[in-house]
A and B are shown apart, each in its own frame.
Chain A
Amino acid sequence: MEENREKKQVPLVEGWFTMKAGQAHLIGNQCQTCGDYFFPTVYACRNPRCMSKDLKEVLLSREGKLWSFTVGYYLPPPPYLPKGTFTPYGLAVVELPREKLMVLGQVASGVDSAKLKVGMEMEMVLEALQEDPEGNEVIAWKWRPLNLPNGERG
């Protein structure tokens, strides 16, 4: 039956992150000459003072600091597709301390936005973002607080 079928999971973009549940990482690259990191990956170093072609693929840090966040209360236009009925959703920008770059993503579902605070520790998780027209679950990286009081996990 249709409803018993396991939905096929596809990444939002092929090759942008590992699909290992629990240990998800964004895939970037690092310039072996100047040391700068890139996400998404680049063909050659984008630092105009460097421009080296010597780059190495690296898994980016899964944890970082919350730089800013917002909660969207209105349904965005396509290609956004709500999962079922639209409910407000969070967006967060997180600073990765080792790479010294920031990454935008949705806030993981179930996180109480009232508990988000600029500067708090966040971790990356994988979650369904939407269903594509073929009925596959489109998986993306999302952010959730690392340590909520009382041992809560988001």
Chain B
Amino acid sequence: MGKEIAVLGIGMHPWGKWPEKRFIEFGLTAVRNALQDANLEWKDIQYVAAGQTIYSGMPGLLAGSAFVEEMGLTGIPVVNSFNACATGAFAIDAARARILAGLCDVAICIGMDWAPKGFFAPPASRDPKDVENLRFKMGATNPSYFAMYAMRRMQNYGTTERDLAMVKVKNSRHGLHNLNARFRKEFTEEEVLGSPMVSSPLRLYELCATSDGAAAIILSSMEYARRFTSHPITIAAVSTVSPKYPDAMINIPRISTDSTYSAEPEMNFQKTVPQRAYEEAGIGPEDLSLAEVYDLTSAYELDWYEYINLCRPGEAERLLRNGDTTIGGKIPVNPSGGLSCFGEAVPAQAIAQVCELVWQIRGAAGKRQVEGAKVGLTVNFGLLGNASSVIIKK
């Protein structure tokens, strides 16, 4: 596999809420942890790919540049980019391309975020036709979109309120021993079903919170990695495909879909993203030891089982009820605790998902260890057709 690159180090700042802190503080912790993990020094890094954060003014938009300013200027190229929830994976994609092109040997990807409490709100806009602003005027918050898909799932497959609660119960057990998780409390089905309805049919404990946090990953060429180990953990695939016309999904922030008058709808990109990752890595769902999926809601976790082909459409509830996706089951999903236990720190989340796979494959996940973990897949999606899937293997 000529397209593999190595993971040398990972680091995180725990997820939580620190209204008085700055996003760069979280980044400094995550990067120092990653450097220590890789046994490298800051001056060894040849390229920085950072995700932007939209709540901290200009330094947030130039997050990587603002970060190196505080960490130490070494004269290397720094790219700042934003791709909604997939931001971290696009940073990995950029660093990987540089490494594979031979333009650098070792790079770091950083995602760090400070987020306001409660519903995400749109950035100010001068455009009267900005759908992001218009949908909020109509009250179409992110959970509203999640809820309408959850409603469809219930309608199509008979998903019950108990199934949705069970996803939260499972993930809360997984995240209990994860020191980087924000919510480390075991939930019962009754507690979840007793939580307030936010956007019917979804309740408060079935929706992901907004969090602060940071994650970093150090990547290198295989040749560079062999200085440290003969069998590095590798990135086998990074998929960042976008939707194709006609896209019949009403994903955030759309207020209308494409017309399917002249052609049948294209496969939705939550399916094409992991499919492309499988193709690139030359593996299938049967090869996975674990997966980290984007559980913005409990209902989306069930959708992902089907989108990543762990089962056929409508069978996700059976997998969940059988315990197949619990640690100890056939294919544990979200052993980290997922967004359910982390909340979402947008530009850091896709990197955090990869960090979990690396800890699991190293056998260093402690009480949440998936036994014999060898191959893992992440998948996520966010605003305006941004999604990603990364495959990590030993």
Q: Which residues of A are in contact with B by a Cβ distance under 8 Å?
A: 12-14, 31, 34-40, 46-50, 67-74, 76-81, 89, 91, 93, 99-106, 113, 118, 129-130, 138, 140
Contact = CB atoms under 8 A, between A and B. Distances in A.
A93 B256 CA distance: 8
* The 6 A-B residue pairs with the shortest CB-CB distance in the complex, in nearest-first order: A77-B121, A70-B147, A68-B148, A101-B259, A37-B259, A34-B262
Contacts, number: 133
Interface stretch (B97-105, B136-144, B158-166): B136-144
Contacts of A74: 119, 198-199
B140 A99 contact: no
A113 B197 CA distance: 14
B140 A91 contact: yes
A104 B129 contact: no
Given A14-B128, A104-B256, A68 B248 contact: no
Interface of B: 118-122, 128-129, 133-141, 143-144, 147-149, 151-152, 155, 196-202, 245-246, 248, 250, 254-263
Given A77-B121, A101-B258, A48 B245 contact: yes
Contacts of B139: 72, 76, 80, 89, 91, 106
A46 to B, nearest CB: 6
B137 A70 contact: no
A30 to B, nearest CB: 8
Contact of A69 (B135, B151, B258, B259): B151
A102 B152 CA distance: 14
A36 B121 contact: no
A91 B120 CA distance: 18
A104 to B, nearest CB: 5
Contacts of B263: 47, 49
B145 to A, nearest CB: 9
A91 to B, nearest CB: 5
Contacts of B254: 104
B140 A79 contact: no
B133 A79 contact: yes
B262 A13 contact: no
Contacts of A103: 255-256
Contacts of B202: 70
Contact of B137 (A91, A101, A113, A129): A129
Contacts of B133: 79
Contacts of B128: 13-14
Contacts of B140: 91, 104
Given A13-B129, A104-B254, A77 B136 contact: yes
A76 B137 CA distance: 9
B137 to A, nearest CB: 5
A40 B120 CA distance: 24
B151 A36 contact: no
Given A70-B200, A77-B118, A93 B148 contact: yes
Nearest to A71: B200
A78 B137 CA distance: 7
Contacts of B248: 102
Nearest to B148: A68
A12 B147 CA distance: 24
B261 A36 contact: yes
Contacts of A78: 121, 136
A68 B152 contact: yes
B246 A73 contact: no
